[in-house]
Amino acid sequence: MDSHTKSRMGAFSPAEIAYLRSVTMCRLATVGRTGQPHIVPMTFVYNADKDAIDLGGVDFSAGKKWRDVQRNRLVAVLVDDAQPGSAHAIEIRGRAEVHRSGGSSINPRFPTFAEEFIRVRPTYVVSWGIDGEGFNPNGRTID
């Protein structure tokens, strides 16, 4: 599929879901009140029931990213890794939903993980190095 193809499946392919389940760190990009982009590493989980990405952290609602999504719900998430000779990545563009409870389940290893979290509902997904070898981007709009 190319960037003009609409997805008829869920937001993610089976190979993308397996990759999302194999890692726990991503980068969340938001836009601040002045229009300046902001990107930070975050802990996340793939939420199979919602076909979405749930992100949170310790003292999450006190941070910039939480404030940013209050003003602008458009975000991007990058999940990636690189090893000699290969790279894998999924970029997820979408709309952030703000949730005030349930975030502690994102990373139960941390007793101080905040209840507040962000759920990203994908509107566009592009991946490479996931559904095959090499840099062959697979992008699609999500209905």
Contact 124, 93 (CB under 8 A): yes
Band (4; pLDDT cuts 50, 70, 90): very low
Q: How confident is the model over 23-29, as a mean pLDDT?
A: 94
Q: How many CB atoms lie within 10 A of CB 101?
A: 10
pLDDT at 138: 80
How far, in Å, CA of 102 to CA of 115, rounded?
5
Mean pLDDT of all residues in 20-36: 95
Mean pLDDT of the chain: 88
Instruction: Render pLDDT for 115-127 as a digit per residue (tens, 0 to 9).
Output: 899 999 999 999 9
First CA to last CA distance, the chain: 15
The reported pTM is 0.88
Residue 41 pLDDT class (50, 70, 90 cuts): very high
Q: Residue 37, CB half-sphere, CA atoms under 13 Å: how many? A: 9
